[in-house]
Structure 1
């Protein structure tokens, strides 16, 4: 399956891309992260501490164990703060 993967804030800075299309066999978001970190060191750096990241699948906040079946978009970003 092909998914659009979006990166925001420092995740984008570490990877060097705002978005990309990824061909994946991943069943869950965690599986996708494993595939991405196996690509290059910049992905490994971006995903080195998953507790510092949030994820959304098709614009719905979710956990890293969320299934990807039928997903069109996955976004990674740091936690947001308000004020």
Structure 2
């Protein structure tokens, strides 16, 4: 299985993360996913009254220097970690 296929598999698995997954972890995944699928940030930062979208934009901007493959690999690693944490604490 290639990296892209594995990435897509873990993108599906990410939809089944435990409810207790922190917003911080979700933002990390969001940033890595956007970097892997879109590339560097291509929009302006949302205004101060749109806190959720601004946090998502910031998470994406934080990983802006990563290559597509690096972002995919980091995303897979993070999803695996979160899934393991979810099953370990139940």
Greater RCO between the two (CA within 8 Å, min separation 6)? 2
TM-score calculated relative to the size of structure 2 = 0.24
Higher helix share: 2
Higher strand share: 1
Of structures 1 and 2, the larger Rg is shown by: 2
